[in-house]
C-alpha cells in the first residue's frame, strides 16, 4: 500500500481518527496504548481509531502508521485523517512523517500495486509544518527505494547516474569511474571494486550557498553488494547485502533536501561506490594498500571493505577546512552486537557535536548511542607489515576498532569535528518496527537533515 496525499478526496470511504481518548478502547476491553487501533461501524462510514498516548513526535508517527496499516486490511481506498489531540508544530510534522513512512511500499517488482488516497484535516496554522513532514517522508522513501533495489539492478554506475540526475536541480556533480580511481589515488574504492565486472565509482556532489554559515562534508558508504569478497560471507549473512549501500543512498537524500531547501551552508557530499565480489582480479588478504595520505593498510579480511572506501572519502573531505565532517555507514556487525538492531553507534571527536546529534535524534526517533574512540584498542590494529591492519586482531569492540581505523584518515588540522555513524542495525529491517515495514528504513537521512537545520540555526544565532 502506497499513500498518496490529496487536498480533497473524490469519494470519501472512511474516517480515521488519531486520538488520546481512552474510552472507546476501554469499552472494547482493548488496552489503550500507542499504536493500538480499532475499526468501528457506528456511523454512516467505517471509522478507524488509532490511540496515541500523547502528542510526542515519535508516538504520533507510530499512531499514524498503525492507522494506515489497519486500513490496509480493508479494501478501502480513500480515507480522511482527523486528529483528536493537541497538536504542536513538531507534532504536525511528525504526523505527516508517520503517514508518509507508514504508507511506504517497495512495489517496483510487484504486480499488485495498491494505493491509498489520504486527505488530512489539519489546522491552517499547522499546515506548513505538516507539509514539511510530507517532504521529509518523501525524501526518506526515495532513500528507501534506492536501498531496496536489488544489487544487480543498482551497481555503482546506476547510483552514480542517480547522483548525476541531481544536476537538473542545480548541483555540481562529479563522477570518477573504473581505472581512473587508481590514477587519482582513490585506492581503497578501486581495490574493493576491482573484483566485480561492475566498475567502482567515486561521486562528489557540491552544494554551495551565497553566504555559508558553516562548511560541512558528508560521506556515505556505498557498497552496492557485499559478498565479503575472497573472505566470503556465509550465505545467510549475504542475503540482505544489497543494503550495504544505505549510507551513500542517505547522502543522496540529503543532497535532494539541500537542493530543495537551499540552506545557508556549504556542503560537500561524497559517495564511494563499489561492489565487493570474489574473482580472479579481487584484492586479497595480505595485500597492502597505500592511501593518498600516506597511511599503508594491510588487508586481513576483504569483508572489512567499507572502511577502505570511507578512507578515500575522508581523505578527500578533509583536504579543505571543514566545521563538521560526518560519515555514515552500515559498517560493522559488531555495532549490532553492542547496541541491537534498532540503534546506530555514534562516534564523535567533540562532545558538542555528539550532543547535537543526540538532540536531533530525540526528535527524529532514529536512535543513536555514543560509543568511545577508545585508544587502548589501537593495538588491535597493529601489524608488522604496514601502518595498520584493515580489521582488528581480536573480535571484541569491532565497531570501535573500525572507528579508530577511520580516524586515521581524518585530517584534524582541517576538520574541527568529526562524527561517524555506524548504521548497520537500523538501516535495514527483517520485520516491521514502529512505522517501518521490513526492508530499508532510510536511516539516518532524517537525522542528517535535522542536524543540518540545527547547524544553520545555531550559526544564525551566533552571528546575531
Q: Kindly list the residues in this chain that would bind Zn ion in the complex (CB under 5 A).
A: 226, 303, 305
Residue closest to 71 by CA, chosen among 108, 127, 17, 19? 17
Q: Are 444 and 327 in contact (CB under 8 A)?
A: no
Enclosing H/E stretch for 148:
helix 127-148
Active-site residue flag, 233: yes
> What distance in Å separates the CA atoms of residue 446 and residue 332, rounded to the nearest whole number?
21
> What distance in Å separates the CA atoms of residue 98 and residue 80, rounded to the nearest whole number?
15
Residue closest to 322 by CA, chosen among 204, 449, 190, 411? 411
> What distance in Å separates the CA atoms of residue 317 and residue 320, rounded to the nearest whole number?
7
Q: How many CB atoms lie within 10 A of CB 216?
A: 23
**Distance in Å, CB of 198 to Zn ion, minimum:** 16
Kindly tell me which of 229 and 365 has the beta carbon lying closer to Zn ion: 229
**Distance in Å, CB of 338 to Zn ion, minimum:** 17
**Cell digits for 296?**
599503508
Map residue 366 onto helix, strand or coil.
Answer: coil
Kindly tell me which of 91 and 398 has the beta carbon lying closer to Zn ion: 398
Kindly tell me which of 305 and 323 has the beta carbon lying closer to Zn ion: 305
Enclosing H/E stretch for 3:
strand 2-5
> What distance in Å separates the CA atoms of residue 308 and residue 246, rounded to the nearest whole number?
16
Which residue lies nearest Zn ion, judged by its C-beta? 303
**Distance in Å, CB of 262 to Zn ion, minimum:** 36
**Distance in Å, CB of 225 to Zn ion, minimum:** 10
Half-sphere exposure at residue 126, Cβ-oriented, CA atoms within 13 angstroms: 18
Enclosing H/E stretch for 326:
strand 322-329
> What distance in Å separates the CA atoms of residue 226 and residue 228, rounded to the nearest whole number?
5
Catalytic position from the list 194, 242, 307, 389: 307
111-122 per-residue burial string, b: 16 or more CB within 10 A, e: under 16: eeeeebbbbbeb
Kindly tell me which of 298 and 303 has the beta carbon lying closer to Zn ion: 303
**Distance in Å, CB of 308 to Zn ion, minimum:** 10
**Distance in Å, CB of 303 to Zn ion, minimum:** 4
Enclosing H/E stretch for 135:
helix 127-148
DSSP assignment of 49-104:
EEE-SSS-HHHHHHHHHHHHHHHHTS---EEEEEEES---HHHHHHHHHHHHHHT-
Active-site residue flag, 8: no
> What distance in Å separates the CA atoms of residue 352 and residue 256, rounded to the nearest whole number?
27
Kindly tell me which of 87 and 399 has the beta carbon lying closer to Zn ion: 399
**Distance in Å, CB of 409 to Zn ion, minimum:** 18
Kindly tell me which of 34 and 391 has the beta carbon lying closer to Zn ion: 391
Catalytic position from the list 21, 180, 233, 362: 233
- Cα end-to-end span (Å), the chain: 47
Residue closest to 93 by CA, chosen among 128, 66, 120? 128
**Distance in Å, CB of 96 to Zn ion, minimum:** 36
Kindly tell me which of 67 and 310 has the beta carbon lying closer to Zn ion: 310
Kindly tell me which of 57 and 188 has the beta carbon lying closer to Zn ion: 188
Residues recognised as catalytic: 233, 307
Amino acid at each position: 500500500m502506497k499513500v498518496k496525499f490529496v487536498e480533497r478526496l473524490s469519494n470519501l470511504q472512511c474516517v480515521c481518527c488519531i486520538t488520546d481518548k481512552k474510552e472507546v478502547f476501554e469499552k472494547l476491553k482493548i488496552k489503550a496504548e500507542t499504536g493500538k487501533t480499532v475499526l468501528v461501524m457506528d456511523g454512516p462510514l467505517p471509522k478507524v481509531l488509532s490511540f496515541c498516548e500523547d502528542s510526542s513526535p515519535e508516538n504520533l508517527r507510530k499512531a499514524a502508521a498503525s492507522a494506515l496499516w489497519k486500513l490496509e486490511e480493508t479494501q478501502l481506498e480513500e480515507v480522511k485523517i482527523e486528529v483528536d489531540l493537541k497538536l504542536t508544530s513538531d507534532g504536525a510534522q511528525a504526523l505527516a512523517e508517520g503517514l508518509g513512512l507508514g504508507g511506504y511500499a517497495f512495489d517496483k517488482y510487484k504486480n499488485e500495486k495498491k494505493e491509498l488516497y489520504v486527505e488530512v484535516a489539519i489546522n491552517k496554522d499547522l499546515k506548513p509544518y505538516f507539509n514539511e513532514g510530507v517532504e521529509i517522508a518523501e525524501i526518506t522513501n526515495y532513500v528507501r527505494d534506492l536501498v531496496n533495489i536489488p544489487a544487480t539492478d543498482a551497481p555503482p554506475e546506476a547510483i552514480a547516474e542517480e547522483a548525476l540526475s541531481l544536476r537538473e536541480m542545480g548541483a555540481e556533480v562529479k563522477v570518477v569511474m573504473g581505472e581512473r580511481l587508481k590514477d587519482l589515488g582513490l585506492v581503497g574504492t578501486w581495490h574493493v571494486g576491482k573484483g566485480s565486472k561492475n566498475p567502482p565509482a567515486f561521486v562528489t556532489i557540491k552544494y554551495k550557498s551565497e553566504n555559508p554559515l558553516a562548511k560541512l562534508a558528508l560521506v556515505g558508504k556505498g557498497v552496492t553488494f557485499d559478498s565479503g569478497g575472497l573472505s566470503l560471507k556465509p550465505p545467510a549473512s549475504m542475503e540482505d547485502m544489497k543494503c550495504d549501500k544505505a549510507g551513500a543512498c542517505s547522502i543522496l537524500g540529503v543532497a535532494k533536501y539541500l537542493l530543495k531547501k537551499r540552506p545557508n551552508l556549504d556542503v560537500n557530499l561524497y559517495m564511494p561506490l563499489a561492489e565487493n565480489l570474489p574473482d580472479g582480479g579481487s584484492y586479497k588478504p595480505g595485500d597492502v594498500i597505500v592511501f593518498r595520505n600516506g597511511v599503508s593498510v594491510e588487508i586481513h579480511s576483504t569483508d572489512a571493505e567499507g572502511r577502505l572506501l570511507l578512507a578515500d572519502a575522508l581523505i578527500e573531505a578533509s583536504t579543505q577546512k571543514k566545521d563538521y565532517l560526518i560519515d555514515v555507514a552500515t559498517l560493522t556487525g559488531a555495532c549490532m552486537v553492542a547496541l541491537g538492531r534498532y540503534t546506530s553507534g555514534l562516534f564523535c571527536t567533540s562532545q558538542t557535536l555528539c550532543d547535537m546529534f543526540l538532540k536531533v535524534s530525540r526528535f527524529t526517533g532514529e536512535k543513536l548511542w555514543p560509543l568511545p574512540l577508545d585508544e587502548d584498542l589501537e593495538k588491535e590494529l597493529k601489524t608488522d607489515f604496514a601502518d595498520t591492519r584493515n580489521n582488528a586482531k581480536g573480535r571484541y569492540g569491532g565497531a570501535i576498532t573500525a572507528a579508530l581505523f577511520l580516524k586515521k584518515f581524518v585530517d584534524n588540522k582541517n576538520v574541527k569535528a568529526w562524527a561517524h555513524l555506524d548504521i548497520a542495525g537500523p538501516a535495514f529491517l527483517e520485520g516491521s518496527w514502529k512505522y517501518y515495514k521490513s526492508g530499508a528504513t532510510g536511516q539516518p537521512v532524517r537525522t542528517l537533515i535535522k542536524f543540518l537545520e540545527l547547524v544553520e540555526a545555531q550559526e544564525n544565532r551566533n552571528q546575531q
